[in-house]
A and B are shown apart, each in its own frame.
Chain A
């Protein structure tokens, strides 16, 4: 059932193979393989506690995976968060982790850290390159704020932004490190439908810039609209991967979310039949009985 849609010209951005994470006796993530290709938006879904965020933390080096390796564009990543970011993977957090007492602009400038080289001496002696680099950083940061629609609030403290804009700022900050792959951990948690749609458009715009996106989400409708490919994680194991429609119809996914059907209950095939029939019934006129 794991049909992978790989267009012939794309290259692999992220290649995680056999990633396993154990905390003592608990295996939070068990031997998960996942690839993300350029220009792709991949969704990662699963019930609460399935190990999605743990898997993210393994990808970004916050956790050192017990087994398995993570490669970005062909090179294996060391399990150090700052080196992963430097390599080109940026992330956001499930519970927003902005630098609350820095301004919006400063937050994005911190995101530029790996892409600038000015060290302490350069700052202390104000060497010739310093001002230029600083200005270039500022310019790039303002562009990103423009892109996410936060430019008007550049001088606000991050903590004073409304919730939806804090999410956007986290994305802008992640984009500032010029990633090739963006990992979004529940980017629409707590958003209303309107904000969710705006987030969707923002993610499409990011994809159009040539950045691959891997997104964890609970909102199934959101993920089905957005993703080219969806992987389902249940109890630390990847059970299905494939295009959205395929995953949506998969009985194991339904079972994971809604529970196993009890003995003697109609099977998945029968359920689908009933569903199809009901669909028919709705589409046709009322009098037309079964």
Chain B
């Protein structure tokens, strides 16, 4: 009967719904899957000790047996990580701490990372040397090992049951699901010295990874590094280690800040090449300005598209009083006075621009600030003696800015410190670090105060905020001026680091950060309203274009695609503060204390209609 068929179907689906069992993507017995994973990653590990190619024309010299180099090291690290996670799944004593959250998704992610790096290396070798024939057996051993590990990891049981709303996802949904993991439970209490040690170790690893990324010498290695870092980072997150670490850092906030800056101070001592230290210094400048912008955008919610102009004001002010022979004012201020000049000039500029524009809201403010940003650049171009008074030398800018000398310490020449030679860029890096610390302190302290709360209130609902007694205009102007002042501070150092200031350094969008678009992108990419977010965002946005020179022409295109993907999959940015996390993902709130019963029968009130 025709009527029977639909009835059959419905009963069929209901029985399926009642058993939402999450199955592995490749149906394998558990023991076999884990065995395959371990064997595969071990194989990939062994392969890195063999030669991958016959010639050292491919950068990094992958021809030596018994001594991994270049991309091999990345495969080695990745397969070690996979092996550790996979072995932790056996319940081996002493490895349990590795996976407080997900047990099997980290294995899969790490294995994918190994496959990505190894596969990329094999592809790059074949492409650059002209054919797969150039691969030596070692590469095949690692490649096949990585593949086997991924197959094995796909056969491991899934960490959490399927979503009740969609108990039978398609293959793609199942793969995505296999990469998710439950949150780790509450950690055991450790002695506080151990906790501090763990934080220090965490930052040590972070510093090492970051320094390694900066000092990658050829783009193949950097791409491999990015692939492995992305997968490895996700694996560590899924394993719940990051949650554990952030729980510790939240507990010891001052220790964390101290450890972070200790790690930052150590960075120049890991670099022998001045070029890489310069990248470090420029990242710090970029990151500091991004953090200043975070006060304006992240806290007060004022979309400023011309923020780089304030960096420019600071830099021009410092350049004019630096004693450069090209300066139209023939004065030489000591550094502290130059810094003050730059900061105050930016502050004044911020107030002058902010006072008329901050009466606007939302899109209008964004457009007006965009306009002012461009006006700054064009004005600096025009103050050249022809189309205006000669103040800035027009498009030539102010070159030959002398190196700083602070307390008789000339930042322009290398110094020996603790047996390590600190180059010029390393000196400026350390100077800039002082300013970064200042800006971080300013951000943190203002955010956790009456003023910071008022800023957030304005961002949330300006009408309600004014009805609560907040003078909206004044506080917005304060945020704008403070942001401008912080950018000005960074500008004073930037002028000295880059030897010269020209109008073209301060565009809305351009290939070289910092520019307004990249600054905003760093804040959004990293995570609005957080401290670490803009720092990480700025580091990535500076490092990727600097390392991958070959894609310079497509940089803005790729950058746009990356931002779109980010907004689609992680709108709260890489580092999410709790608010943003809840704002963009309608999840239950997990990190609040249990409800205590309320007095006067106030519990159990439900949303009662409109």
Contacts and interface: CB of A to CB of B under 8 A. Distances in A.
Interface of A: 60, 62, 81-82, 85-86, 90-91, 93, 97-102, 106, 109-114, 116, 118-120, 122-124, 126, 130, 133-134, 137, 149-150, 152-153, 155-157, 159-160, 162-165, 168, 173-174, 177, 189-192, 194-195, 198, 201
B456 interface: yes
Given A110-B453, A198-B602, A85 B467 contact: yes
Contacts of B98: none
A106 B447 CA distance: 12
A85 B469 CA distance: 5
A156 B457 contact: no
B472 interface: yes
Contacts of B441: 124
Interface string B438-474: 0001100110111111101100110111111111100
Report, nearest first, the 5 A-B pairs whose CB atoms are least far apart: A114-B469, A123-B449, A85-B469, A164-B605, A97-B464
Contact of B454 (A81, A113, A150, A160): A113
A82 B605 contact: no
B472 A155 contact: no
Contacts of A62: 463, 466-467
Contacts of A201: 600
Contacts of B457: 99, 102, 110, 113
A130 B470 CA distance: 19
Contacts of B164: none
Contacts of B579: 101-102, 157
B449 A86 contact: no
B607 A162 contact: yes
Nearest to A109: B453
B592 interface: yes
Interface in B563-597: 579-580, 582-583, 589, 592-593, 595-597
B482 interface: yes
9 contacts: A111-B468, A113-B453, A120-B451, A123-B451, A124-B441, A134-B449, A162-B605, A165-B602, A174-B468
A193 B469 CA distance: 33
B449 A118 contact: yes
B606 interface: yes
A126 B589 contact: no
A1 to B, nearest CB: 34
Given A97-B461, A157-B589, A195-B608, A116 B598 contact: no
Contacts of A101: 456, 460, 579-580, 582-583
Contacts of A198: 600-602
B72 to A, nearest CB: 47
A160 B608 contact: no
A118 B601 CA distance: 38
Given A97-B461, A123-B445, A155-B592, A110 B608 contact: no
A195 B605 contact: yes
A152 B468 contact: no
A109 to B, nearest CB: 6
B463 A97 contact: yes
Given A97-B464, A149-B599, A152-B598, A120 B470 contact: no
Interface in B466-500: 466-472, 478, 482
A99 B449 contact: no
Q: B442, B451, B606, B610: which has the most chain A beta carbons within 10 Å?
A: B451
Contacts of A165: 602, 605
Q: B467, B601, B610: which has the most chain A beta carbons within 10 Å?
A: B467
Q: A98, A116, A162: which has the most chain B beta carbons within 10 Å?
A: A162
Contacts of B6: none
A120 B481 CA distance: 12
Given A110-B465, A157-B582, A100 B460 contact: yes
B450 A153 contact: no
A111 B465 CA distance: 8
Contacts of A100: 460-461
A201 B600 CA distance: 10
Contact of A155 (B593, B607, B609): B593
Nearest to B583: A101
A174 B469 CA distance: 10
Q: A82, A102, A106, A111: which has the most chain B beta carbons within 10 Å?
A: A82
Contacts of B470: 82, 110, 113-114
Contacts of A112: 450
A86 B451 contact: no
Q: A120, A124, A160: which has the most chain B beta carbons within 10 Å?
A: A120
A209 B351 CA distance: 43
A192 B608 contact: yes
Contacts of B442: 124
